[in-house]
Amino acid sequence: KNEVEQSPQNLTAQEGEFITINCSYSVGISALHWLQQHPGGGIVSLFMLSSGKKKHGRLIATINIQEKHSSLHITASHPRDSAVYICAVGGAETSGSRLTFGEGTQLTVNP
Amino acid sequence: DTEVTQTPKHLVMGMTNKKSLKCEQHMGHRAMYWYKQKAKKPPELMFVYSYEKLSINESVPSRFSPECPNSSLLNLHLHALQPEDSALYLCASSQADLRTDTQYFGPGTRLTVL
């Protein structure tokens, strides 16, 4: 079992739909990162959170430390949101230079 | 400036060639990273420089040689690579500690080894 599990692996939505991507982890963490990777490679950091909830535009990230679970929500989805979304955790016991990555969720938003 | 730049964007090399990948950031970040990413997989950490010193080498073969000439620059020297080394090579930087700091990624260099 991976230390960081994401679901679903693949997600197809229609433009305008509300989207949720889930991330569960099995280790103690100091911070959880949500990353976005578009085709062509570049990775953008969307959120870093260690508790509660953060919002940026149409994106919302939440984390429940007790349940070791985080969700990334996209409201009013748009085709430009099509990308791979990756959850990564910075472990509480590990060095501050390593992230453990989930396998990613491929999101496709159709017009 | 919140950008990490990488050159070249694409690189094709033979197994006997020597080439270098370059990464630059001007955010004052003290940690810089090299990742390797294969298709449909998450990035794999290769090296970490912290305050210009190599702090992590994830048992990477010696045909990959990192260099940090100063706090803004990170190089990855390539020599005698194998076709299986073909991948996207990503550079990243952060203020210091990923337990508290956001990581900024470059656009990557897509490497093909013939």
What's the pLDDT band for A97 if we cut at 50, 70, 90?
confident
| CB pair distance less than 8 Å for A45 and B104 | yes
φ/ψ bin of B84: left (φ > 0), alpha (ψ from -120 to 50), beta (otherwise) = alpha
Nearest Cα of chain A lies from the Cα of B89 at a distance, in angstroms, of 9
| CB pair distance less than 8 Å for A103 and B41 | yes
Span A36-53, average pLDDT: 91
Residue A1 clears pLDDT 70, i.e. is over it: no
Question: Does residue A93 or residue B101 have the better pLDDT?
Answer: B101
Residue B10 clears pLDDT 70, i.e. is over it: yes
Q: What does the pLDDT look like over A47-57, one tens digit per residue?
A: 999 999 999 99
Residue A95 clears pLDDT 80, i.e. is over it: no
**Per-residue tokens: B50:** 């912290």
Mean pLDDT over the full length of chain A: 92
Q: What does the pLDDT look like over B46-97, one tens digit per residue?
A: 999 999 999 999 999 999 999 999 999 999 999 999 999 999 999 999 998 7
pLDDT of residue A92: 65
Span B19-42, average pLDDT: 95
| CB pair distance less than 8 Å for B99 and A44 | no
Spell out the residues 6+ positions from residue B105 whose beta carbon is closer than 8 angstroms to its own: A35, A42, A43, A44, A45, B4, B90, B91, B92
Residues of A in contact with B56 (CB under 8 A): 95, 97-98
φ, ψ at B15 (rounded to 5°): -70, -15
pLDDT of residue A87: 97
Nearest Cα of chain A lies from the Cα of B100 at a distance, in angstroms, of 7
Residues of A in contact with B42 (CB under 8 A): 86, 88, 101-104
Rounded Cα distance between B4 and B102, Å, is 13
> Considering chain A, what percentage of its residues have pLDDT values greater than 90?
77
Span B86-110, average pLDDT: 91
Nearest Cα of chain B lies from the Cα of A48 at a distance, in angstroms, of 6
**Per-residue tokens: A41:** 């490679």
| CB pair distance less than 8 Å for B56 and A97 | yes
